Structure 1
Amino acid sequence: MIRKIQRAFSKNENFFQLSSQQKLREFNRSEDTKNGYLFKWTVWFDHDRPRATDIECYCTKHPIPLKLDFDGCTDSRCENAGKSINFDRLELNIESNLEHKYDIIKGIK
């Protein structure tokens, strides 16, 4: 009987963890409308800690958002051309937000 209860609790805990992770995976983009940037990423988990991978940046000052490189917008006539993106800082910022949102989903904050 005790083992049944332990297994049931374990299954519910795993379901809650997977459900919480799935909810967080839906947070995979952010837009900076003021400066004309769109950021997209994939959320994965490393020992129940959310991480961002495959981070992509786009310039939204065009009819079709243009993918950025390290020197900013690829359209040399755009005001975002020459404005480099620090991808290391961007990744840290995204992961900080992911950890905060994950704590909220789990009911910690």
Structure 2
Amino acid sequence: DARMSGTSYGACILHVAPESWIGGPLALVRNGDRISLDVAARTINLDVPEAELAKRRAEWQAPEKRYERGYGWMFTKHIKQANEGCDFDFLETGFGKPVDEPSIY
């Protein structure tokens, strides 16, 4: 259920969005970088000069696609980011007519 129950003591960061896979902030992190966390302010910051981050952004390349079909393909094409619920975009309910419950007799 992605809660990570019992795996950590103290503050624990479970999700950062957008993900590194699509070029999110974690894609720019390198070994040795300092990351500051302020729980009260609900912030997390990569303490690297903006010039260095701009260089890393320019050098970043998307990972090679692993799946051309099946569940892996569907997941990579349609899954939403963690802050949006980690659900498939085609399961949203904000469009289309609701499906009636079937009659059960």
TM range (shorter): under 0.3
Q: Which TM-score applies when normalising by structure 1?
A: 0.24
- From the two aligned structures, give the one with the greater strand fraction: 1
Q: Which TM-score applies when normalising by structure 2?
A: 0.25
- From the two aligned structures, give the one with the greater helix fraction: 1
